[in-house]
Amino acid sequence: MSEKSRLVILVGSVREGRFGPVVASWAAEQAREHGGFDVDVVDLAEIDVPLALPAESPKLAGDAYPRPAGMSALTERLAAADAFVIVTPEYNHSYPASLKAAIDWHFSQWTAKPVAFVSYGGAAGGRHAVLHLENVLTELHAVTIRDGLAFPNYYLNFDLEAGLPHDEQAAVYAKGMFAQLDWWATALKDARQRVPYPG
């Protein structure tokens, strides 16, 4: 049996009253049911991620990049990951500043790793946020997965007390997403081990 891939599920919103932990918990359970992942849920609300960054580039500075001491655990968890699921709301047709800061404090931690998205919001279900994230993560040499999950009008379409979507098909879509994510995680992990990524 092949070794499980290390999956970080990143909760991107730090807003008071946020829905992110509910949907992240559900997504983590779907990932565990898939069976191909060791799951690590990282909640940005529990980590000090400053918006102001140093003048140095994390790409050029590498391990010498001067991150705050309180961010070391986040950096280590991102670096250890073979794959990511980013859970994001949509704020003003984009994603939260907290998530952008966490991404910008890092570089190589995303490189040559697959990223899937679970979004939520109003009528668009967070799709505008995901489109922006796809552009950003492509710039960081991550591989974004085509099939993601979106929860439009989540406050109507999710049982907040039970932590479950009303639509039972959501679990079916999750299986498809995690199957793609597992394939890419395995392929890219093997590639990274064989030869350094040239980016």
Read off the pLDDT of residues 129-138 as tens digits, 9 standing for 90 and up: 999 999 999 9
- Ordered by where they begin, the domains of the chain are 5-194 (3.40.50.360)
3-class SS string, 116-144: EEEEEECCCCCHHHHHHHHHHHHHCCCEE
Looking up tokens 């509910």, which residue turns up? 22
**Coil vs helix vs strand at 76:** helix
Mean of all residue pLDDT scores within the chain: 95
Residue-wise pLDDT for 170-190, tens only, equals: 999 999 999 999 999 999 999
Backbone angles phi, psi at 50, to 5 degrees: -65, 150
Question: Is residue 89 over pLDDT 80?
Answer: yes
Task: Determine contact, residues 86/94, Cβ cutoff 8 Å.
Answer: no
Q: Please report, rounded to a whole number, the percentage of residues in the chain having pLDDT higher than 90.
A: 95
**Type and span of the H or E element at 39:** strand 37-43
Task: Let me know: does 7 contact 84? Beta carbons within 8 Å.
Answer: yes
Q: Residue 48 above 80 pLDDT?
A: yes
* pLDDT (average), residues 100-123: 97
Contact in structure between 6 and 82 (CB atoms under 8 Å): yes
| End-to-end CA, the chain | 31
The DSSP secondary structure of 43-73, one letter per residue, reads EGGGS---S---SS-HHHHGGG----GGGHH
Give the residue-averaged pLDDT of 115-140. 97
Q: What is the pLDDT of residues 24-40, one digit of tens each?
A: 999 999 999 999 999 99
Contacts of 88 (CB under 8 A, 6+ apart): 12, 13, 20, 95, 96, 99, 117, 118, 119, 120, 126, 129, 130, 133
Q: What is the band of 1 on the pLDDT scale with cuts at 50, 70, 90?
A: very low
What is the arithmetic mean of pLDDT over 53-76? 93
State pTM to two decimals: 0.96
Kindly list the distances between the CA atom of residue 64 and the CA atoms of 9, 47, 53, 55, 61, in Å, as whole numbers in the listed order.
Answer: 26, 20, 14, 13, 5
pLDDT at 2 over 70: no
At 135-167, the pLDDT tens digits run: 999 999 999 999 999 999 999 999 988 999 999
